[in-house]
Chain A
Amino acid sequence: MEVNRGLETNPDYLHTQDASGVANFFKVEDVFNLARANSLWPLTFGLACCAIELMAGGAARFDMDRFGFGVFRPSPRQADLMIVAGTISRKMVPCIKTLYDQMPAPKYVIALGGCATAGGPFKYPGQYGILEGIDKIIPVNVYIPGCPPRPEALIAGIIELQKQIKEGRVQGAMSPASVIDSQDGRPADYKNALSRAEFRKP
């Protein structure tokens, strides 16, 4: 019998396959990934200018709900996508880290705009106020350039993230964070690592 590798090679597998009478094999995790990709709940969280474009993306005209990622949650415990929108001041870093730790696994991060990517226009030699890029503290899946990026760019970025999740390319939850969980002193990603390890058992 031909064993179909399913979603691993074809992300749209579930939609295209004729289900009649063929035995298909694919990993349970792939099905989960498909569900995760199509139901991203972003955290309501803005830092500076980019947050206004984030709001515009969710409001009339751009309407992110059309793509299934418009359910903004104010609590990190209900969200699985963090869009870091704006300049990261050093005073804010512990707060962002705490929010990231509080999000349940698997979680994904988008760096929106120049500041969250690499410091943006506020980066100069000897600066004392900002962190030059959020990826120095938490892992980032998709970077969106712009100052600020247009809402269309944000939507394109999230669609790119969805694609990566469906294809299983995104490590997201698995990637080791360089810092310790502020809640219980264990590595920040151990919960994700555990949940993923369960999936990987034969």
Chain B
Amino acid sequence: MTAVAEKDIKQWLIDSMQPEEFIEKDVKGPAGVRFEAVVPLAKVREVAAGFLSDGYFLESFTAVDFAECLELVYHFNKWDAGKRCCVKALVLKENGRPGDGSWSAPSISGIYKAANWLEREIFEFFGIVFEGHHDLKRLILPESSTIYPLLKSFKGEPKGADVTQSLKLIEEDKEGFEVTYLQTAKLTGKDYYLSMGPQHPSTHGVLRILLHLDGERVIDARPIIGYSHRHQEKMMEIQNYLACWPNFGRLDYVGAMSYNMAYALLIEKAMGVQAPPRVEAIRVLTTELNRIASHLLWMGTFLLDLGAFTPFFYCFDDREKILDILEMVTGERLTYDYFRFGGLDRDIPVEFIPAVKSFVPGFKTRLRDYDGLVTKNVIFRNRVEGVGFLSKETALAYGATGPTLRGSGIALDLRRTEPYSIYPALDFDVATETGGDVFARYKVRVKEMHESLKIVQQLIDKIPSGEIKLGKLPKNVPKGEYYSAVESARGSFGIYLVSDGGMNPYRIKLRTPSFSNLNALVDVFPGNLISDVVAILGSVDIVLPEIDR
């Protein structure tokens, strides 16, 4: 096998395989990928190694359940523009049963660290066993679960199962099933284990981190997720496309507009329609306002975690003003579902534009205040500078995106690298910092608030007039596979949709940014002091229901 260097990755794949092993599929425009190929299952490791050596990161990895086989779908992407590649491998069913090893695939967790969690997720939802995975157990559901819910053969649990299982879990908890975590690690006299969460004011939700300590210093940190799992992907399979909107509003409730935007763009792309210009302008405007609100909430709670109480009230004060504006447009404060396919739910009210205009100058003054009070604050600087360094290699291996990645000096912003909606016509900079530490990530988010405000100012006087709805659209999506990604407040959010032409999605995979960003922290925590864990965790801005889905 030749090296990948200087060769196009597709050409390299063709060269390194027998002609009959590499089956390329036709890719249409809306699929959102450069090429799509099916490779033999046994060669998956080689392929992954090739992609890694060419600088690709594993963006998304999932499985789809078909009648005769399970399809493993790898999405690789690069930090440059428009490089998303889709590689598939088939696991034949052949009367096997989920979870017992009769369906198996080679693990790539030794190559891409991001695959560690993703493979565990596929194992627990589809029952595919990954050979060579060092720690293959359930990630999101309780460990004593026996179901594989995303298989089409799973028809749901009987009525009352929720109470039965909950009582069983309480019993297990009493017997101390969590002790098994400790038994797997080597216990020496000096070591100390600390379970942080799931109820902890600084974990920003129901996250649990098992910290392995040597005195004050963290040796190993293991996030345990799944405490907020709300079966969103299964739910979307059993309801029609329109009924999925509320799910996207509740996926990441802090910055819900971006997630709505991704879904709107995905379905519009699949149907081959284009929203009117007025719709696009209002969408971008509300999304950017929502982005500012999301960053404000992050800033308030992050500084609260570090012990600064005052910014919390300042940030929430500003955030309430944005929520007022968004409420008069959408009717909701938090969990928006304002967008529709090819349009909006309703037009903006007349008082919207004056309200935004009066908000902008006041918020600019506030941003200056934050700079003086926080960014130049010596206590804050000493607390966050040089702490929690995220290297480019770690970010690549885990597929970190968003402000977390931009704090390490990579200018990956899908609004620029993979432009969508009207962003190409707008003037804004991609905020990057080279420090890679907590302070760099803080600065990136503050800069992003400035940039978002710039976009709002550009758009507010130039909202084109016109329709806010396309005519009647079909209720189903043409058969095919589609991938759409947007830059949310937390990173690149992608939706992978498999449609069989029916009224419901056949499979929806949500590629959520916080999932990868939190996973990357596994390599950032060790070596830091226990008090810095909170600062590092706060700096990546995670939202738990978006991780657990």
**Contact between chains at B156 and A91 (CB < 8 Å):** no
Interface status of A31 (Cβ within 8 A of chain B): no
Interface status of B320 (Cβ within 8 A of chain A): yes
**Contact between chains at A148 and B334 (CB < 8 Å):** yes
Cβ contacts under 8 Å, B206 to chain A: 46-47, 89, 92, 95
**Contact between chains at A91 and B229 (CB < 8 Å):** yes
Interface status of A143 (Cβ within 8 A of chain B): no
On whether A87 and B228 interact (CB within 8 A), knowing A125-B159, A126-B155, the answer reads yes
Among the listed B159, B205, B300, B314, which residue makes an inter-chain contact with A46, where contact means beta carbons less than 8 Å apart? B205
Report the stretch among B164-172, B181-189, B491-499 that lies at the interface: B164-172
How distant is the Cα of A131 from the Cα of B231 in the complex, in angstroms? 12
Query: How many chain-A residues does the 8 Å CB contact rule pick out?
Result: 48
Q: How far is the CB of B72 from chain A (nearest CB, A)?
A: 23
Among the listed A49, A97, A125, which residue makes an inter-chain contact with B335, where contact means beta carbons less than 8 Å apart? A49
Interface status of A99 (Cβ within 8 A of chain B): yes
Interface status of B438 (Cβ within 8 A of chain A): no
Interface status of B385 (Cβ within 8 A of chain A): no
Measured CB to CB, the nearest residue on chain A to B224 is: A91
How distant is the Cα of A40 from the Cα of B437 in the complex, in angstroms? 40
Measured CB to CB, the nearest residue on chain B to A56 is: B316
**Contact between chains at B230 and A126 (CB < 8 Å):** no
**Contact between chains at B312 and A147 (CB < 8 Å):** no
**Contact between chains at B205 and A127 (CB < 8 Å):** no
**Contact between chains at A93 and B250 (CB < 8 Å):** no
**Contact between chains at A129 and B229 (CB < 8 Å):** yes
How distant is the Cα of A43 from the Cα of B287 in the complex, in angstroms? 33
On whether A53 and B333 interact (CB within 8 A), knowing A89-B548, A98-B173, A127-B162, the answer reads yes
**Contact between chains at A125 and B545 (CB < 8 Å):** no
How distant is the Cα of A126 from the Cα of B198 in the complex, in angstroms? 26
Cβ contacts under 8 Å, A127 to chain B: 156-157, 162, 231, 235
**Contact between chains at B149 and A128 (CB < 8 Å):** yes
List residues 509-549 of chain B with CB under 8 A from any CB of chain A.
544-545, 548
Q: How far is the CB of B293 from chain A (nearest CB, A)?
A: 11
Q: How far is the CB of A42 from chain B (nearest CB, A)?
A: 12
Interface status of B425 (Cβ within 8 A of chain A): no
**Contact between chains at B198 and A92 (CB < 8 Å):** yes
A-B pairs with beta carbons under 8 A, tally: 152
How distant is the Cα of A94 from the Cα of B177 in the complex, in angstroms? 11
On whether A53 and B334 interact (CB within 8 A), knowing A89-B229, A128-B156, A136-B163, the answer reads yes
Annotate A115-159 by CB proximity to B: 1 below 8 A, 0 otherwise: 000000110111111111000110000000001101000000000
List residues 301-327 of chain B with CB under 8 A from any CB of chain A.
301, 312-314, 316-317, 319-320
**Contact between chains at B320 and A128 (CB < 8 Å):** no
Cβ contacts under 8 Å, A91 to chain B: 140-142, 169, 226-227, 229
Interface status of A48 (Cβ within 8 A of chain B): yes
**Contact between chains at A59 and B142 (CB < 8 Å):** no
Among the listed A44, A47, A94, A99, which residue makes an inter-chain contact with B170, where contact means beta carbons less than 8 Å apart? A94
**Contact between chains at A124 and B335 (CB < 8 Å):** no
Interface status of B35 (Cβ within 8 A of chain A): no
**Contact between chains at B172 and A94 (CB < 8 Å):** yes
**Contact between chains at A52 and B253 (CB < 8 Å):** yes
- Add 8 more A-B contacts to A61-B316, A91-B142, A121-B246 (CB < 8 A): A53-B333, A74-B200, A124-B235, A126-B157, A128-B154, A132-B162, A136-B162, A136-B163
> Which residues of A are in contact with B by a Cβ distance under 8 Å?
43-49, 51-53, 55-56, 59-61, 74, 76, 86-87, 89-95, 97-99, 121-122, 124-132, 136-137, 147-148, 150, 179-180, 182
Q: Which 10 A-B pairs have the closest CB atoms?
A: A126-B156, A94-B173, A59-B316, A129-B231, A49-B253, A60-B317, A93-B166, A60-B313, A92-B227, A182-B174
Q: List 27 A-B contacts (CB under 8 A).
A: A48-B230, A48-B250, A49-B334, A51-B205, A56-B316, A59-B300, A87-B545, A89-B229, A94-B170, A94-B173, A95-B198, A95-B227, A98-B173, A122-B235, A127-B157, A127-B231, A128-B154, A128-B156, A128-B157, A129-B149, A130-B231, A131-B166, A132-B162, A136-B166, A147-B335, A150-B333, A179-B167
